[in-house]
A and B are shown apart, each in its own frame.
Chain A
Amino acid sequence: MIRFDRVSKRYEPGIDALSDLSFQVAEREMVVVNGHSGAGKSTLLKLIAAVEKCTAGAVLVGGQNVGGLSRSALPYLRRRIGMVFQDQKLLFDRSVFENVLLPLSIVGFPTRDAAQRVRAALDKVGLASREKALPVMLSGGEQQRLAIARAVVNRPNLLLADEPTAHLDSETAADVARIFHEFHHVGVTVLIATYANDLFPGARRVQLNHGKLLP
């Protein structure tokens, strides 16, 4: 599903976020990328969705070298990937429902079916009763679950999450982790970057240290 082939990413001037990284994630696998703050976890996820491009090596997603994709091809890659961002990137002037609807609007999903899908996604993360609320009215845990609902509403087969349990109390964090486990169980490939390494039992662990893979 995902293959990193001797990937390096350097931010000018001369900061190596990732160096000579090679690993693979199989289909339907759940992988947790661990590492200290600044180890390169976020960069790794950004390379997969082609938000950033690597400076050396190749990142392959479904056999496709995403670093070589043209600007016009990028949207179609990202539609196949569900992303939960570290800063969530919710739209605060739109309701919970409209936030989750956005990915479906982007692909031109028929309106009536879209509403059903949005409600199903919200139900899945336990926000079914809050669809009219604005994101500011939600708690931190609820906002995180909203971000997950938006990431999965398109039913992607790859789910990336960047620190999805940061800033959450342990109970809420466990709740969020459970949601990721559920998606993994129904066949979604899940890749989670987090420094909390006890929340995702059963997941394969990849350890990053200063941009390098620890054996």
Chain B
Amino acid sequence: MKVWLTHHRKAGLLALRRLVAAPVNSLLSLLAIGIALALPAGGEMLLANARQLAGTTSAAPQISIFMAANAERQAATEIESRLGKYGGIRQVLLVTREATLARMKTNPGLRDVIEALPANPFPDAFVVTATDERPEAIERLAVEFRQWPKVEHVQLDSAWVRRLDALLKLGRTSVILLGALLGAGLIAISFNIIRMQVLTHRAEIEVSQLLGATDGFIQRPFLYYGVLLGLGGGIVAWLVVGAAALWLRAPLNELLRLYELTVVLRSLDAHDSALLLGFAAGLGWVGAVISLRQHLR
């Protein structure tokens, strides 16, 4: 056990020494791996932020009912009580025209426009959450509500949420695809670098074999080298994504403010970071294993 640990410690240190011995080479290799990994990692970072954004908006499909602009408050109250008795509805929220006006006035760009208008242009409205969230059920409710008196317009708010959901799913698939492709690239990079390492250390390998070194003893430093290479590349990717997040934060906030959304762009969280580093190290190791199988016989 102690011998085994000593072997591993020495192999790890030797790999590290070899990595440091050729700093320019190592740095360029790490950059190549890091930038390749930064693409899917950056994609994942953006996706995680988008998911968070989608999560803050209600994912439960809602129906908005807008009363006619000339409808009295009486009509709205009637609809409200009718909705209260209607089956299949979980929640009804009345948004009065006054409330809408007040909210719109908080937007400095709109305030002047609204104040220039002779009367309140907004109608009374309801936000209805159904118990049955299936699209067909909601559609059926909407058709029903459209026939009620003084109802001007019924809108399904779920549409954009579903579009966003579909978009996120597409994004996720793209990130996985990109990750798989660039992961294969990482294996190829590691394979080639380890091949060069084996060629460089030919004499040492041959002598070690003659002196009674096991295959494990000979391969270990190269495997560690592959893992360190992957891990180093992962760290580079992590730094690139972190820097990109920091850099994009201000312009993105500016853009999102126009949509009345506030999201602080976050870099990879602990889970995604661990995943990135783990994958990078693992892929470096896989490349090394394949390379050694090819070149150490």
A residues adjacent to B (C-beta < 8 A)? 49, 51, 71-72, 74-79, 83, 85, 89, 91-92, 102-103, 105-108, 110-111, 150
Contact = CB atoms under 8 A, between A and B. Distances in A.
B115 interface: no
Contact of A106 (B4, B206, B211): B211
20 contacts: A71-B215, A74-B212, A75-B209, A75-B212, A75-B213, A75-B214, A78-B212, A83-B211, A89-B206, A91-B203, A91-B204, A91-B207, A92-B203, A103-B212, A106-B212, A106-B217, A108-B3, A108-B6, A110-B6, A150-B211
A107 B203 CA distance: 19
A134 B204 CA distance: 15
Contacts of A150: 211
A102 B208 contact: yes
Contacts of A108: 3-4, 6-7
Interface of B: 3-4, 6-7, 10, 203-204, 206-215, 217
Given A89-B203, A89-B207, A91-B203, A106 B3 contact: no
B207 A102 contact: yes
Nearest to A85: B210
B6 A89 contact: no
Contacts of B217: 75, 106
A89 B209 CA distance: 12
B6 A102 contact: no
A80 to B, nearest CB: 8
B211 A78 contact: yes
A76 B212 contact: yes
Contact of B210 (A72, A78, A105, A107): A78
Contacts of A83: 210-211
A106 B6 contact: no
A59 B225 CA distance: 39
Contacts of A106: 208, 211-213, 217
Nearest to B214: A75
Contacts of B4: 108
A105 B13 CA distance: 13
A92 B203 CA distance: 9
A25 to B, nearest CB: 20
Contacts of A89: 203, 206-207, 210
Contacts of B214: 72, 75
A105 B10 contact: yes
Of the candidates B206, B208, B210, B215, the one having the most CB atoms from chain A within 10 angstroms of its own CB is B210
A106 B14 CA distance: 13
A91 B202 CA distance: 11
A103 B3 contact: no
B292 to A, nearest CB: 14
A108 to B, nearest CB: 4
B216 to A, nearest CB: 9
Contacts of B204: 91
B7 A103 contact: no
A103 B211 contact: yes
**4 nearest A-B pairs in the assembled complex, by CB-CB distance:** A108-B3, A79-B212, A78-B212, A75-B212
A179 to B, nearest CB: 19
A92 B202 CA distance: 12
Contacts of A75: 209, 212-214, 217
Contact of B211 (A71, A72, A92, A102): A102
A79 B212 CA distance: 5
A18 to B, nearest CB: 20
Contacts of A105: 10
A51 B212 contact: no
A49 B210 contact: yes
Nearest to A88: B207
A152 B211 CA distance: 11
Contacts of B207: 89, 91, 102
Given A103-B212, A106-B208, A106-B217, 11 more contacts: A72-B215, A74-B212, A75-B209, A75-B212, A75-B214, A78-B211, A83-B211, A89-B206, A91-B203, A105-B10, A108-B6
Contacts of B210: 49, 51, 78, 83, 85, 89
